[in-house]
A and B are shown apart, each in its own frame.
Chain A
Amino acid sequence: MKEFLHAAARCRWALPALVVLGFAFCLACEFFPIFNDYSKVVLITIGINIILCASLNLVNGYMGEFSVGHAGFMSLGAYASAVMAVNWLPSTPMELPLAVVFGGTVAAVIGLPLALISFNTRGDYLAIITLAFLMIVKSAFENIAYVGGPRGMTPPVLTNMPWTFFWVVLTLWVIRNLVYSRFGRAIIAIREDEIAANAMGVRTREAKILAFVVSSFFGGVAGALYAQLNFFIDPRSFDIVKSTEILVMVYLGGIASLFGSVLGAVIFTVLMQVLQPIGTWRMVILPLILVLLMLFRPRGIMGLRELTWFLPRRELKKEPGQ
């Protein structure tokens, strides 16, 4: 079985075939009652969490910074897309993708200043700045009457399984292609040793801009999907607790690993659903997971490793004697 999986991962068509199958399955769910509405929402939430987790992993895992502001990008994407869907767009099948792209773009533009700050500020100090950023975004939305202030907004329910699946695949595909290119190696070199990276001719400023902009774009995409799923968003949906949830997923699944991000998002989302009956006590379990993780497995389940399936073919290690 293991050998079969290994061989399959090396086959050129295995992964595209799986993706097509997955998409077909998601489409089927739209037309046939395979899942009930509750299960669908859970599955879509898993998808959104995968996008959040993979995109934050680019900054926190691959680049090795500690951003706690990801919920801020999520809220920017959520609000931007909601405003667009409610006020500007007619209800057409293209409403959701347009709103999502707009949400991601707004988040990416706001992500740029954070990248500029990161040129000269690193580590704990950058973490504090991202925290401040998160608070600024939250209080900004609380005070803008156009988006409902503290009462929030009620965007239309548009997010469905096929579109979520599409965005999950796109996120993972783009981040994987980035990470295994010279641009990604520059980002990783910053994590490993910024001084050495500079001495190796790595353009660290460009790499930081790229990491932050791509990360915040997909953070915004996830926010947009989230807004169009829940019928209701308010500034408090995107506070430090939300950021903490994403951090737990990233560090649970594993830093600098896309499969880790998928794993972290799935485990975390399912766990939160299973623990639903205990109510507020979930918020005790959540930080506890984080503490235990940092104590016993600080890099997460897949930390710094990748499943063969998630590697581009050229990066596959040659077997001895091959």
Chain B
Amino acid sequence: MSALLEVDRLTKRFGGLCAISGCGFSVREGDAHGIIGPNGAGKTTLFNLVTGIYRPTEGTIRFRGKHIAGMRPGKIALMGIGRTFQNIRLCTNLTVLDNVRIAFDSRLCYSLPEAVFRLPRLEREERRSIVGSMGLLEPFGLAEHANELAGDLPYGSQRRLEIARALALKPSLLLLDEPAAGLNTGETAALTEFLRWVRNHFQVTIVLIEHHMHLVMNLCDRITVLDFGQTIAEGTPAEVRANPRVIDAYLGGTGEE
């Protein structure tokens, strides 16, 4: 298996604060890759760097071997990196269906004149997008809510809608920022199964930030541990669990000095 995403000596400074300092890891194609670490370790900043919301101060990010650091976020998304947000960012005034359609639009091909004059290709493509988007809502249990406003959905459904929307891009890499935040134990177990299904069904590599250790240890093939913006451990769940530096970072000063 080759590396889909390679992050090397990545650094991001906000003024005097160093959110990420020399972080490096690689994600293999087809894996579910967990990123864990204490609060403030720089996990979300890392996602924002990969998706182009922030520009790195130093270092490289390669996706399928191409340098993407500093590219515009829209372009990175179109290359096949979908993501969700820690604090859900849906188009709350639009319907559930339209939320997915916005992401699906990147796959439609018709030109501006065709849209303005409503030529046949527009209708054909728009039908394709409605059918395709409904097809995505189906497995997420959202099809019957397609015409409701996204903002009116309960919290858990909003989280699922965000994943469905990211998948509408047909990404090869899916970044999930705390997908289990706010879910109870039962729901988290269901989410684990669901994410496994998503990975197999959509043939997508998943990178997820998560605090629910149960989910991370069950789902992920490999785990990267961040602390103070640096990679302090990387490996299989078993390796990471046994690593003294990880225990040190999480529990604080219990490792051998």
Contact = CB atoms under 8 A, between A and B. Distances in A.
Interface in A174-188: 174, 177-178, 181-183, 185-186, 188
A24 B64 CA distance: 61
B116 interface: yes
Interface in A99-133: none
Given A183-B112, A210-B112, A199 B122 contact: no
Contacts of A205: 74
Nearest to A189: B102
Interface residues of B, number: 41
B116 A195 contact: no
A178 B116 contact: yes
Contacts of A276: none
A193 interface: yes
B82 interface: yes
A199 B77 contact: yes
Nearest to A204: B74
A106 to B, nearest CB: 20
A185 B101 contact: yes
A312 to B, nearest CB: 7
Interface in A284-322: 304, 312, 314, 317
Nearest to B73: A198
A193 B85 CA distance: 12
Contact of A304 (B90, B93, B122): B93
A198 B74 contact: yes
B74 A196 contact: no
B93 A183 contact: no
Interface string A62-101: 0000000000000000000000000000000000000000
Interface string B71-99: 01110011000110100011111100010
B102 to A, nearest CB: 5
Contacts of A210: 112
A202 interface: yes
Nearest to B168: A200
A200 B94 contact: no
Nearest to A196: B89
Nearest to B81: A199
A273 B211 CA distance: 64
Contact of A198 (B77, B91, B98, B165): B77
Contacts of A195: 53, 73, 85, 89
Contacts of A178: 115-116
A92 to B, nearest CB: 27
Interface centre among A188, A200, A314 (most CB of B within 10 A): A200
B250 to A, nearest CB: 30
B134 to A, nearest CB: 11
A192 interface: yes
B130 interface: yes
The 4 closest A-B pairs by CB, nearest first: A192-B91, A181-B115, A198-B73, A182-B105
26 contacts: A177-B115, A181-B115, A181-B122, A182-B110, A182-B115, A185-B101, A186-B105, A192-B92, A192-B94, A198-B52, A198-B74, A199-B51, A199-B53, A199-B77, A199-B83, A200-B102, A200-B106, A200-B165, A201-B78, A201-B106, A201-B169, A202-B106, A205-B74, A210-B112, A314-B126, A314-B130
